[in-house]
Structure 1
Amino acid sequence: MSAVSSSSAALQPAAPKVLSARYMAWYRFSRNPAAVIGAFIVTSVILIAVFAPLIAPYAEHVGSVVNFRARHLPPDLEYLAGTDKVGRDILSRTIFGFRISLLLVIGVLGVSVPIGTILGLVSGYAGGMTERVITGLTNIMLALPPLVMALAIGNVLEPNLTNAMISVTLLWWTWHARLVYRVTRTVASEDYIEAARLSGASHMHILFREILPNCVAVISVKTTLDAAYVILFGASLSFLGLGVKPPTPDLGSMVADGRQYLPDMWWGVLTPGFAIFYATLGFNLLGDGLRDMFDVEA
């Protein structure tokens, strides 16, 4: 009898394994070719920026080096991307230009994301006068054209990386505040939030232990997509002369310098312009992949 029961048990199909939500999210991400390419591009940009002194063929050309005998040389085996108007290697300066772009991303999003997240949480949860004041301030700031605001601040303050971060950060927190506000308003009406409130949980506990975890996915997607816009926005400011001071290499200012000699000396624009495209494409593809992985709208 025991032999029959054991044989019948062996013939029964094994119980299917319950796949975790984290595994399914990673599965969706890994099966998205664009997301994988975006992750590869972003990783390569970060590695290039970190190891720039080791990768750049002429790391000394980052500073105030002048070699008029080598000015405006086209790409060749010695200078793979050509040289600029004072004889500096464009490829080396482009590699170091990634550092400025990533520093701008870290500085802007490192400040604007926490500010926008906290204001969105508070306004969506508190309601009443607090909600009206924060949402009103957010709408006012959203009505200001970002580029015009940045130009005004850049003309008042000294053009450098810190002031460029300030000019971008002053308006960037609004998008995160509005996004987190919408999520918070939806989550705050859930039954488990009311149960936590009735059980005596503090407002801080409800905000940061109950509501904030539900916002992590949309914040991650929005932050990744915003990194591309910050790089492009920072390059625009540098193109207009409101970025870092020369001779520090910046992708936007390198494009601005190279455009003066178009179309004959096209290599002065091609390499830094492609670097901007490469970095923004990577963050956009990665953001789209994260959006599909978390299955959210941002």
Structure 2
Amino acid sequence: MRPTFAAFPLAVGLTLSAAALGAAPAAYAAGASDTDQERNARWQEIAKSIFGDRTISPTDTLVKLDAPKRAEDAALVPITLTMPDRDKIKAVSLIIDDNPAPYAAKFEFGPAADTNELKLRVRVNNYTDMHAVVETTDGKLYEAKQFVKASGGCSAPMGMSDEEAMKGMGDMRMKFADAQPGKPVEATLMIRHPNFSGMQMNQVTRDYTPARYIDKLTVSAGDQKIFTMTGDISIASNPVINFGFKPDGKPIQVAASDNQGGSWTKSFTAPSPTN
């Protein structure tokens, strides 16, 4: 079972409940001065809370994690996960060690998936290590790591009222790259949703906006799953996810739900594999 974000350690000896999200910036201030040893100790505790006692081995081939060394916008940090050996990859987890909820997302792949490249945008709340942990089809875990300089992404205001941010919530669009016979198709899924983190202050009421974020997303090609994403507050507002899939001419089905009970579905006409 995947733990809830309230159970994840912020640092050695610290945890955060949903009710305390508003106080997180004052309660926790890891930063650029942390040593490698301190960061490694924090990662070991986070990894244990998510994966238990399973061994996680480093890799430079099964997964690569690409993120900007210094983010231009901490609320919209682009992440690229490259997993070229798609027949070996069962799932990938993205962990942002120093975020209030480190476990940003888990993608579980189905038979219609092409894992070569997966892109998404996340919030980064502090100078932090990121980890991409893949689970292979034989049940082993491997990880890649990158350090990112950013701060304040989880509490950054939307720049509009909560009501404006929620207009059209659940609307979806999808773009497809040109299809080539015998090759996977690249798709870009865009979902209208504020993904409130619970740490953002309403500029009118001066209260913290309750957390409301997409917690599950399933994308399928016909009756074949491409991926299921389990998400949390670290996913950026209005999520954009780039992914690959094996086309068979059947529609792409998307089902999304959030932690407040919202749910949305939409079907898209996919390019024909013979085009």
Q: TM-score, normalised by structure 1?
A: 0.26
Higher helix share: 1
Q: TM-score, normalised by structure 2?
A: 0.28
| Structure richer in strand, relative to its length | 2
